[in-house]
Amino acid sequence: MFRLTVHGDDKIARIEPELYGHFTEHIGGVFYDGIWVGEDSKIPNVRGLRLELVEKLKAIGAPVIRWPGGCFAETYDWRDGIGPRESRPTRINWWRNADGRYEPNSVGTHEFVDFCRQVGAEPYFAANITSLTPLAIRDWMDYCNSPAGATTLAKEREKNGAKEPFGVKYWGVGNETWGGGGNMTGEMYAHEYRKYAVVMENTDRHAQLICSGADHHDWHWANDVLRVLEPSYKIMHGLSLHFYCGSAGDPLAFSEEEWYKQLRQALDVERAIERNWGFVVGYGMEKRARLVIDEWGCWHPGGSGPSSHMKEYGIEPAPNNPDGVENLFEQQSTMRDAAVAAATLNLFNNHAEKIKMATVAQLVNNLHCLFLAGGEHFITTPTYHVFDMMKAHMGGDALRVSGDFGEIAREQADQRRNYSIPNLSVSASKKDGALTVTLANLSVTEDAEVDLNFSEFKPAGTAEYAVLTADDPHAHNTYEEPEKVRLVRESKPFDGHVRVPAFSAVTVTVRGE
């Protein structure tokens, strides 16, 4: 029996809804034909956007969506994606060398903002500072956000179908500038940031500018960047951080040991959060540089997703994929990926004072995705159900949880050392008189019996339960079995006892008396 206490009067911080955000890039099948199917498609759509995907995102209250990359942003010119679609240029896609596809620019600024508005999410643009000038980015902001008729670019926006400004609030100043985004050093990027940021802030003082942060392995990046930015005007509203846990075995046929290796890698995000936050605090930048973890998730080898069987499913390849090549980096999502998602979101909740935003990579037909789609086929993954079961935390006050979380000790043979992970990953929050607790059982073999207690909070007699479980840790949804893994909700009397099956997660919501 695991005995836990949720401290109803010990608030960590507000859980920003944006911690539950999403990332989209023009790569593989994310947009074509994941999100975008075209207005003339027989697939149900609204102005070319896949209707079922939009409705599923609305159902989980998706708060923010990042675009257009990712690495794709490094060579993206926003002007390629405006105006009549038939007149837009076809360009070399950043990822062409990997899958041979070109970019038709069918989805540009207007289409993406329309997507966000249909979902109810805020758009988060990644500005290209690798190959565009500060003036070009200023013009994009002008085009998006200037009042109707105020500037020549605002009039051009109206000519292209949008009289009123888009009000794009979040702007990333570069992407992975330590890598494909310019191959810069931290100090070099910081000087570039100062140059771009002063122009961007002058264009729109309501914009929130996100500084390109580190790959989680590079502990020096935050120090090098913040050392240069701290004495500046501090035009900064967040510091990004990218964290992927590498693959541990086959994404569908992993062993028990590989289950734990994957979870151990995922839980290292806490170390990345704390280490980067230490530099933020050291430079006194807590109000300017809360973390924006705008790429995170599992990165398995591609090929396990359904696009590798397009012909068998009778799926017509997307127009920019004439050879029917499988979607780059597409992977299936099993109960192991769901466990990673639940444990990661629990950690984000528990570090809510440090984190401003997080966007899982990526939305559809790619890494750690919530959806898989091709032609008329469309399914949700176990990862989607994690976001569904945990959505009640968004906007709540994160609460501290104490007690016995257990320990699973494993031997990591390749490094000849022992490591352990907790049996239980837990977070709790309170909002509108209700208290929500999410418990993820990280054991792949043993059920967990939990005695859940509260201090300074008296629960009413009934609770709402959301349970994500399966009969096999390898379980996943397919076009043939789209609901093999699904979320089960029920209301029942609450007595403080919660059973969490092995490799499963449970969210409990109780109202106070």
Catalytic positions, written as ranges: 176, 295
**The tokens 């099956």 sit on which residue?**
501
Sign of CA dihedral 82, 122, 425, 285: positive
Pairwise CA distance, residues 389 & 74, whole Å: 35
**The tokens 């159902």 sit on which residue?**
59
Pairwise CA distance, residues 180 & 396, whole Å: 37
Pairwise CA distance, residues 30 & 244, whole Å: 18
Per-residue 3-state assignment (H helix, E strand, C coil) for 440-461 = EECCCCCCEEEEEEEECCCEEE
For 30, counting Cβ atoms within 10 Å of its Cβ (0-12 exposed, 13-18 middle, 19+ buried), the class is buried
Concatenating the DSSP letter of every residue in 278-296 gives HHHHHTT-TTT--EEEEEE
Q: How far is CA 163 from the centre of its chain?
A: 31
Q: Strand 408-412 relative to strand 459-468: parallel, antiparallel, unpaired?
A: unpaired
Pairwise CA distance, residues 507 & 345, whole Å: 12
Sign of CA dihedral 277, 281, 285, 286: positive
- HSE, CB side, 13 Å, CA atoms: give it for residue 235: 23
For 293, counting Cβ atoms within 10 Å of its Cβ (0-12 exposed, 13-18 middle, 19+ buried), the class is buried
Contacts (Cβ under 8 Å, ≥6 apart) of 417:
411
Say what the alpha-carbon torsion angle 194, 199, 205, 209 is, to the nearest 10 degrees.
Answer: -40
Strands (E), 188-301: 208-215, 238-246, 291-299
Main-chain phi, psi angles of 68, to 5 degrees? -95, 5
The two tokens of residue 360 are: 């899982």
Residue count (the chain): 513
Pairwise CA distance, residues 444 & 456, whole Å: 34
